[in-house]
Structure 1
Amino acid sequence: MTDRTDPQGLPLDPASVATLAERGLEFRPASLEGEAGEAYIRAVGHGFLEESISEERVEGFRRAMTAWRSAGVFDPASANPLSPVGTIGVQVLDLTVEPDRTLPMHAISEVTVAGTHRRRGIARAMLTGELRAAKAAGTPIAGLTVSEATIYGRYGFSPATTLAHWTIDTRRVQLTGPRPTGRYDAISREQALADAQHLHDRARRARPGEVGAWPMSWESLLGLLPGSKDTEKVRVVRYTDAAGGVRGLLVYTLKSHERDYAQHTLRVQHLLTDGAEGHAAMWRFALEHDLTTTVTTWNTAPDEPLLWMVGDQRGIQREEMDHHWLRILDVPAVLAARTYRVPGAVRLRVSDPLGLAAGEWVFRVLADGAAHLEPVGSPEGGGDPGEAGEGADGVATVSLDVATLSSMFLGGVRAGTLHAAGRILADPASVRWLDATFAPLVPPLLSLWY
């Protein structure tokens, strides 16, 4: 387990506080208690277009957000000075970078700006401030999941994992995978809590891109907090193997067809499994559910084995999208945290528009897969990433920006793809080596939102 920084004790970035103060705004930690806490929670809800927020839902939000350090930007001249015009929350989570290897990650959430205060630099001040605060605290990487994909690239974030939305025609696919020998049990959401926590913790340690759960995370995801929506529709099935071990949990809802009762849609909310048997068993339960002709899922892994457990792959419609956006803050600490596949070396020249991770290193992969980074320069700020070529030490130079390196890090995006897109400047041999050495042991995935 990596060391963790308590976000509650993490001070706000003084430069961002000063910048916003010059514009007549106050950037300060936000309490979640009392009238001020309710105003903050309602501002977050409104920022994500919640239609109405009941008192019960306010309490649910409060419990879910307790583990996060929340901060707000306040306008003392506004009609409601208790209500923030900008919000942001952070938590330090364990990011899996390779099976059984983790890094502390500055997870960012709750990012909203009121429509009345757009184009005033609030988002920039909050996000750059959090990145500087994380860097100062020694947290080597930041991450977020995004509702709007056009905002965060300018701050050095870039997609490192994808997920896929699947729509499965159960009349067509014809399961050919293994048949379970254990048993299924329908259980309550309350009964599922401990199983969900256990199964997720085991799975996330083996999958790059996953994060450790935070307090109240599974209570929130299972709809156990006050004010949770549509909880009466949520069903849970558990799979136990012949030896009595819990190997799978399926959290799902059913939606009826507008005309034909025998054509329900089963929506997979969460599929948590431990091992191939439980995984196959949970999919078989979903695809063979009575009165159901369609199964949908929102967080399918890029290497999902179900595709090879059906007779007709064309019965599965797949739509891929970006999901986990990462932002490296300390290049040597991050690159040294995982192992690599092929020995070799390049001169790595990294530019950074915010100047937080810019630098030049000889990046060397040893015979045992460990990485060693030797600094050879300290370029400041952003600018052009430079030219490909050979350094004075005879090592080929690879130039890229911090966002590109953040996408490459877990191995989910190939260097060759980024080179073809003009995001990496390097000679062909170096690109081939980067492709080979950054190849992941397991394809990265993040199965949650935060």
Structure 2
Amino acid sequence: MSESHRTVHPVDPTSQQRLQKVGLEYRLIDTTSDADLDGFQRADARGFHDQEPTGEALAQSRETTRERRNLGVFDATAGRLPIATVNSWVTSLTVPGGELDMWAISSVTVASTHRRRGIARALLEGELRAASAAGVPMVGLTVSEATIYGRYGFSSAVPVARMTIDTARAGWAAAPVAGRLLYTDREELADQLARLHDVSRGARAGQIPGWRGRWLRLAGLGVDDKDGAAVRGIRYLDADGTVQGVMAYTLSEIPGQFRFELRIRTIVTATDEALRAIWQFVISHDLVTRATVDLRPVDDPLPWLVADQRAVGVEVHDHGWLRILDVVASLTARTYQRPLDVVLAVDDPLGFASGRWRMRVGADGRAQVESTDDAADVTLGVAELSAIFAGGVRASSLAAAGRVQAESHVIDALTAAFAADRAPVLSIWY
């Protein structure tokens, strides 16, 4: 998809007409206007209960905002700022064995003064229709409220782990790693995060490319970041002197103990050795008795690197949500672990993915998918198909919950085929 197509795809006429009937204007934000961009960002900050952004913060964020398709809902009686926002862009989603175009949705807000007027529905359904019209087969987002998005066919598909480590108790048990760990300044840290994310994101399903503003914020260079000056970075160099891993973190004193908590903002590694070296740094850090990190893969090896696994608390939670629009394009974009021949009956209340689809996976792991009138082997909703798509949710779990219907041997075959070699992960918010 071309850059211009990505950013100026028109507003969805159905949602525009729906909002016009209740006296609201639904339109694209003019990305050539600093005033329009700043108004969008201020409304976004208000919607997420953030502080009013400073002029410097608004200026820093314009580059990222200009690269996206931004829409606002305006109420002529409510001032100049949008009373609702959404933005989107087309990006690459890593899937098992390849990549897939995905319509990424972000900045979904509705002002507290305008709730329960159908605005969120208009925004989200409008984005789905726009993505479908643009020929994008998959939609994704990260969410602040997990109960909203299932009604639109989204499902949690990429769970992640939040880890809390009692470093005083854990004890490092793995063998030392060859190579060196060095501190890095924040400007270099942002560049290294960007480079290594690009290098490593193909290793696990669920990842998407980052962007400059994201790396600046993680490195503590966001001008509105209260903790920015506290951010430190380390880099791991292998035996050849190549940077293979980086970590951004802060240290905060635990009151009354003269001990510290190490709060990890992100870890990005291109090799297992780099990850082990960084974890050893965390576990062995002087005067640190607790460390915390989020957005780690659920199969992170840390519990197997320490002497006391009970010192590593792991909380698995939802993070990456997916929504299939085009069944054929989505299911044929990835590879599968086992041969499979089933007919999927997919129910999609919004109509995008509804139908019966024969899915045949050959010995090479590639799928052929076509519409069929044959009897269904598996009955499921689009949310359930989206949930198992990246390999992070097992079809057998959904069947046990009554959300996928099929005979047990079919569920077993579906579970085995859709599994991923490594747990999927999404290591950023968007």
Asked if structure 1 preserves the Cα contact closer than 8 Å seen for 2:190 and 2:218, the reply is no
Q: Which residue of 2 aligns with 1:382?
A: none
* 1-structure distance, mates of 2:227, 2:359: 51
Q: Which moved more, 1:213-222 or 1:197-206?
A: 213-222
Mapping of residues 162-173 of structure 1, within 5 Å: 162-173=159-170
* 1-structure distance, mates of 2:102, 2:285: 39
Q: Which residue of 1 aligns with 2:135?
A: 138
* SS of the residue 1:199 aligns to: helix
Asked if structure 2 preserves the Cα contact closer than 8 Å seen for 1:93 and 1:213, the reply is no
Asked if structure 2 preserves the Cα contact closer than 8 Å seen for 1:238 and 1:250, the reply is yes
Equivalent residue in structure 2 for 1:365, among 361, 367, 370: 361
Aligned-residue offset at 1:66: 2.5
Asked if structure 1 preserves the Cα contact closer than 8 Å seen for 2:88 and 2:103, the reply is yes
Listed as ranges, the gaps of 5+ residues in structure 2 are: none
- Tell me how large the CA RMSD over aligned residues is: 1.6
Q: Which residue of 1 aligns with 2:386?
A: 406
Say yes or no: does 1:338 pair with 2:334: yes
Aligned-residue offset at 1:3: 8.2
Aligned-residue offset at 1:423: 0.6
* 2-structure distance, mates of 1:326, 1:304: 22
* 1-structure distance, mates of 2:288, 2:100: 42
Q: Which amino acid aligns with 2:110?
A: V
Mapping of residues 41-440 of structure 1, within 5 Å: 41-78=41-78, 80=79, 82-99=80-97, 101-261=98-258, 263-377=259-373, 391=374, 397-440=377-420
Structure-2-length-normalised TM-score: 0.96
* SS of the residue 1:177 aligns to: coil
Asked if structure 2 preserves the Cα contact closer than 8 Å seen for 1:60 and 1:228, the reply is no
Q: Which amino acid aligns with 1:241?
A: D
* SS of the residue 2:250 aligns to: strand
* 2-structure distance, mates of 1:326, 1:353: 16
* 1-structure distance, mates of 2:322, 2:423: 16
Aligned-residue offset at 1:214: 3.1
Aligned-residue offset at 1:84: 0.5
* SS of the residue 1:338 aligns to: coil
Q: Which residue of 2 aligns with 1:443?
A: 423
* SS of the residue 1:212 aligns to: coil
Distance verdict in 2 for CA 1:419–1:161, change over 3 Å: same
* 2-structure distance, mates of 1:187, 1:6: 39
Q: Which amino acid aligns with 1:53?
A: P
* SS of the residue 2:162 aligns to: strand
Aligned-residue offset at 1:312: 0.7
Q: Which residue of 1 aligns with 2:22?
A: 23
Off by >4 Å, runs of 4+ in structure 1? 2-6
* 1-structure distance, mates of 2:40, 2:371: 44
Aligned-residue offset at 1:194: 2.2
Aligned-residue offset at 1:38: 2.3
Asked if structure 1 preserves the Cα contact closer than 8 Å seen for 2:96 and 2:336, the reply is no
**Matched length:** 429
What are the superposed Cα offsets for residues 324-360 of structure 1, whole Å, 9 maximum, x if unpaired? 0000000011000111122231111101011111111
Aligned-residue offset at 1:5: 7.8
Asked if structure 2 preserves the Cα contact closer than 8 Å seen for 1:410 and 1:444, the reply is yes
Aligned-residue offset at 1:308: 0.7
Asked if structure 2 preserves the Cα contact closer than 8 Å seen for 1:3 and 1:104, the reply is no
Asked if structure 2 preserves the Cα contact closer than 8 Å seen for 1:6 and 1:92, the reply is no
* 1-structure distance, mates of 2:6, 2:55: 27
Aligned-residue offset at 1:215: 4.5
Sequence identity (%): 45
